Structure 1
Amino acid sequence: MRRSNLALVLRHISGHGPCSRSAVAVATRLNKTTVTSLVSELQARGLVKETGPQHAGSVGRPSVALVLDGSRVGALGVEVNVDYIAAIATDLAGRVLIDRRISFDAMGSGPERSLDELACVIEKTLADLEPLGVTPAGITVAVPGLVDTTNGTVVVAPNLGWRGVKVAERLSRADIPGDIPIGVDNDANLAALAEYTFGVAAGTSDLVYLTGEVGVGGGVISGGRLLGGADGFAGEVGHVVVDPSGEACRCGLTGCWETKVGLAALVRMATPDRAYGRRSQIVRDPEERLAEIEQRRAEGDPRVDTAVAEVGAWLGIGAAMLVNLFNPRVIVLGGYFARLADLLIPAAERELARLGMSGAAGRCRFVASDLGFGAASRGAAGVVVERALSDPANIEIRHPQPPA
């Protein structure tokens, strides 16, 4: 009961602070003595702090205002993708403390080497948090594939070439403190949660997020909740077959949507000499590839506009299926889709209007994410924050409780 009440009080202060102990008692229907005790424990865990007197315009001594602290409690979200590894560390209030991304050929490196590199990034980020006085409450790893979240195993990640990779178990053997819980989840689902929480469409109860990477994943928020499916594998929209006579996909099927709209498809059409898989190519961050495509467009290379127009049309064709299935109000374009949104959206809108059910399509709009390629790692950090708010008793007591 006390654990539940701790979470109840912390969530109220987080959502309604600054507020007084009396206001917390009224809102939570707990008695004032209980609230005072719970607040003292939350202060001891470094989750709540006092900000000074709160004047409400009434006669008498002003009450002391409480706000969410969490500046000493951290959350770490990391992502391993085809050509990069990213890490974002935040405090409990969601303030970004560290944001880094390195180029890395995960597709060509295999799971062991990739997880070694991921562990190095995690260890370095944890070391950077130490002088800030921040203790991480957990780590969540984002992976572009089907993930068994109960044991942190990647069931299959076609674009990485991973099958049955026990990510959480492998990282537990790295030089990472054993008391930091490690979770693993799908990158698109985590990015969708980030968008729903603090992205351009924050608070939209029905939205679809599209990753816009080499592979194309989707995260679906329906009625304010992430749509997981029976096994947590919902949202693999990139492997819906849209052209049975099209290109072979790394998943084993032919003509998957991501073979038409993934970053690899755009690069192959716009800059064929820089296509993924060419042995002579150095590892390139997605931002570098996009900069080169934009440069060639500025130089008048006609292949770029042709490629963008084709990707935009196929983006709209797939989006029409998503609108007919999930009836979202917003389709959030992430990754490289966001970078080229001004060029992609007009063609996508035409196809959506042509193929979508008229009522649903007319009330759905495309928007470009402003979280860039860090959406998944930001969402991963958000999962850690959410877990801490839901069970603050898991955060260790940092200093003795102040007197009531």
Structure 2
Amino acid sequence: MKHSRPDGRTENPRGLRRSPAGPSDQATVRRANLSLVMRHVSEHGPCSRSAVAAATGLNKTTVTSLVGELQERGLIKETGPQHAGAVGRPSLALVLDGSRVGALGFEVNVDYIAAFATDLAGRVLLDRRVAFDAMGAGPDRSVDELIRTIERAVTDLGQRGIAPAGIAVAVPGLIDTAAGTVVVAPNLHWHDVPLVERLLRADIPPDVPVMVDNDANLSAMAEYASGVAAGTSDLVYLTGEVGVGGGVIAGGSLLGGADGFAGEVGHVSVDPDGERCGCGRIGCWETKVGLAALVRMATPEYSYDATHQIVHDPEERLAEIEQRRSEGDPRVEAAFAEVGRWLGRGAAILVNLFNPRVIVLGGYFARLSDHLIPLAEAELERLGMDHAARRCGFAASGLGFGAASRGAAGVVVDRVLSHPTSIAASPSIAHSPPPVEEGALP
């Protein structure tokens, strides 16, 4: 459903629960019912046509027609017979296919660019991260490098006969999703970058949709869909990168805010006498718990601060810090203690504001969760509202530094589930006009 904006534009609110537009003609009804069938198979497959009909309220003839079209589009396939314990001939089960359709997700962060792709059934097609000094390179060179990464990924999939169904990009900053613009990304030093407009000039098929969103939001969506707290209707995801962002799932939907800027938790001021943040303000939470803060305390010789980043792969830097800890370096132990305490203090603010059931720690927070969570829990218990704090726990993400790019690919998959007709039927299969619908969305 679209909402009017004060400036006269319309927008689609971002949320994890989406409903097709209300049917106005037979073509619209059919598109909505194709989505209904495909989502049911996605969530409950393998399942029979009869099971789909019973669950959706569509009659069996309509389901058979819809399944036939989805098969022609390469989105659903039949698998082995399904035995339900009843007498008679077993029915063939339906599962998602989409093996020739690729969902591409990318992430631009301070010191790397990540690429991730799956088919519609969730099979991983591509997963890579390359070191790149996006902060030092500036927006123009960074976008050029992102374009090269996208073009390489599209080429790699194309060589395997897989066509991109869409491209989504995660960026750590405030994003105008409707315009496709990065309004501000403090840690990248980006301001008003028309990212989608730039990406549309890349060497990709012109009909491939391109989207951009905040990295923490996309990570939260990935966690909600398939992470350690999958299905938890109220959760907060923390990125745990050089910058710290938050994605908030409230009541099963992504909390975007009036302009889509909700979740910038890293720039909540927690120490008025603290250090200057990359955003220009003093004492932001990420100056206490971001990766730059940890490295500055644990390995001060690197001079790794909020205004000048030395490019190192996060995994390599963390491995070095853990090695120093195993060797008994007291600076590392003190750094863990400081970050853990500030992590808990900030978490208490989040619990008081959003009342989540779980705070999912991503990025380096997850890597060091055994050291950080006990300290953070103690601070949360001390500072959080009693009942809410006792019912909220921490969990370490299993998605690592790839959560945002996974979430971006997931957005593309969700778009195909909502709009199956965006995928063309295979030219090798004759496609007859669809019959008149005998059922509609409830």
**TM-score (ref. length: structure 2):** 0.89
**1:53 match:** 81
Pairwise CA distance, 1:132: 2.3
Contact 1:77–1:140, Cα closer than 8 Å, also in 2: yes
Q: CA deviation at 1:277?
A: 5.9
Partner Cα separation in structure 2 for residue 279 and residue 37 of structure 1? 59
- In the alignment, the residues of structure 2 paired with residue 30 and residue 11 of structure 1 have an alpha-carbon distance, to the nearest angstrom, of 14
Structure 1 stretch displaced more, 189-198 or 53-62: 53-62
Aligned to 2:184, the other structure's residue is in SS state: strand
Bigger Cα displacement from structure 2, 244-253 vs 82-91: 244-253
CA distance in structure 2 between the partners assigned to 1:205 and 1:280 by the alignment: 38
Structure-1 residue corresponding to 2:248? 220
Say whether the 8 Å CA contact 1:40–1:401 is kept in structure 2.
Answer: no
Report the Cα offset of residue 26 of structure 1. 2.0
1:386 corresponds in structure 2 to: 414
Aligned to 1:369: 397
Match of 1:156 in 2: 184
Picking from 90, 94, 97, the partner of 2:118 is 90
**Counterpart in 2 of 1:242?**
270
Mapped to 2, the partners of 1:137 and 1:278 lie a distance apart of 37
Shift of 1:134: 1.5
Residue identity in the other structure for 1:150: A
Name the residue aligned to 2:290: 262
The Cα offsets for residues 332-352 of structure 1, whole Å up to 9 and x where unpaired, read as 000000111111111111111
Residue 159 of structure 2 aligns to a residue whose secondary structure is helix
Select 2:326's aligned residue among 294, 298, 307: 298
Count, aligned residues: 404
Matches within 5 A, 1:4-403: 4-276=32-304, 283-399=311-427, 400-401=429-430
Larger displacement relative to structure 2 (136-145 or 246-255): 246-255
> How large is the Cα RMSD of the aligned pairs?
1.7
1:280-316 CA-partner distances (Å, limit 9, x unpaired):
9862111111111112212222111111100110000
**1:334-376, CA deviations, whole angstroms, 9 ceiling, x for partnerless residues?**
0000111111111111111110011111111111111000000
Q: How big is the shift at 1:140?
A: 0.3
Structure 2 unmatched runs, 5+: 1-28, 435-442
Q: Which residue of 1 aligns with 2:17?
A: none
2: distance between equivalents of 1:378 and 1:206?
20
Distance 2:113 2:159 in 1: 23
Cα distance in 2 between the residues matched to 1:276 and 1:203: 37
Give the Cα separation in 1 of the matches to 2:43 and 2:369: 33
Alpha-carbon deviation of 1:175?
1.6
Q: 1:146 to 1:281 in 2, by over 3 A?
A: closer
Closer/same/farther in 2, CA of residues 260 and 281 from structure 1, 3 Å limit? closer
Deviation, structure 1 residue 95: 1.6
2-side partners of 1:308 and 1:401: how far apart? Answer: 62
Structure 1 stretches lacking a partner, 5+ long:
none
User: Which residue number corresponds to residue 23 of structure 2?
Assistant: none
Which string of whole-angstrom CA distances, capped at 9 and with x for unpartnered residues, describes residues 245-293 of structure 1? Answer: 1111111211000010000111111111123369998621111111111
CA contact (8 A) 2:277 2:307 kept: no
**Cα–Cα, structure 1 residues 34 and 284, in superposed 2: closer, same or farther, change >3 Å?**
same
**Cα drift, residue 35 of structure 1:** 1.3
- Quote how far apart the aligned CAs of 1:12 are: 1.2
AA paired with 1:273?
Answer: E
Question: What secondary structure, in the 3-state scheme, does the structure 2 residue paired with 1:177 have?
Answer: coil
What CA deviation, in whole Å up to 9, does each residue of 1:98-143 have, x standing for no partner?
1000000001000010011111111111111123221111000000
Between the aligned partners of 2:69 and 2:58, the Cα distance in structure 1 is: 15
Residue 425 of structure 2 contacts residue 431 of structure 2 at CA under 8 Å; is this kept in 1?
Answer: no
Q: Percent identity?
A: 75
Taking structure 1 as the reference length, what is the TM-score of the superposition? Answer: 0.97
Q: Is the 8 A contact 2:175 2:182 kept in 1?
A: yes
Any idea what SS the aligned residue of 2:425 has? coil
